[in-house]
């Protein structure tokens, strides 16, 4: 089975062999490419390298060092994606990120999970579930998003949260495990447009 076939199998949510030589080679390639991306001082060049590494990237990605991913090919980001420092994405499963999404420092997206049985885990058993993040979301510093989670459009996830289940659109959520705190309402508007900034 070639790499695209393995990725398609992994996307079914069935256990797969994390120690497969094809997957190890793909991880090594992603490590090499992220090392080059992270060593680049020019933000335009980092954007180009990021777009070449991931499965698809919309216009204007900003990815600050150190960015790390498992494969890259299973990551799909929309336009105007911003990743602050030390973002990690384990993309054994598909990661889909909408438009105008902000990540604070040290955000981690983890689609993969080792199997629970010790013998199966020791022999390389893993399982992956997709992560989907809607448009206009903000994940603050140190947020960890676990396998199978969907975060709705416009939602803010507070710093140091562990997101273990899906979160609806247009809310502020935080905690471990992450819980909805309140909806985002018209009262949250300040009138800022960027035009008044001096």
Which residues are known to be catalytic?
A: 114
Torsion, Cα of 72, 78, 82, 84 (10° steps)? -30
CA distances from 69 to 6, 8, 75, 153, 178 (A): 17, 18, 9, 24, 23
Instruction: Output DSSP code: residue 167.
Output: B
Please, is 111 exposed, middle or buried when counting C-beta atoms within 10 Å of its C-beta (0-12, 13-18, 19+)?
A: buried
């Amino acid at each position: 089975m070639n790499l695209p076939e393995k990725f398609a199998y992994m996307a079914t949510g069935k256990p797969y062999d994390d120690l497969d030589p094809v997957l190890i080679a793909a991880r090594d390639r992603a490590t090499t490419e992220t090392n080059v991306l992270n060593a680049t001082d020019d933000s335009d060049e980092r954007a180009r390298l990021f777009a070449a590494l991931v499965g698809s990237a919309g216009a204007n990605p900003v990815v600050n060092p150190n960015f790390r991913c498992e494969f890259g090919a299973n990551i799909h980001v929309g336009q105007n994606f911003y990743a602050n420092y030390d973002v990690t994405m384990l993309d054994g499963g598909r990661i889909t990120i909408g438009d105008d999404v902000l990540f604070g420092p040290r955000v981690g997206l983890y689609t993969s999970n080792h199997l629970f049985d010790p013998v199966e885990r020791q022999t390389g058993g893993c399982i992956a579930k997709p992560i989907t993040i809607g448009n206009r979301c903000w994940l603050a510093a140190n947020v960890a998003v676990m396998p199978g989670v969907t975060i709705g459009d416009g939602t803010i996830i507070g710093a140091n949260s562990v997101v273990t289940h899906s979160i609806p659109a247009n809310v502020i959520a935080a905690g471990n495990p992450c819980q909805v705190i309140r909806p985002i309402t018209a009262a949250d508007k300040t009138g800022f447009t960027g035009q008044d900034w001096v």
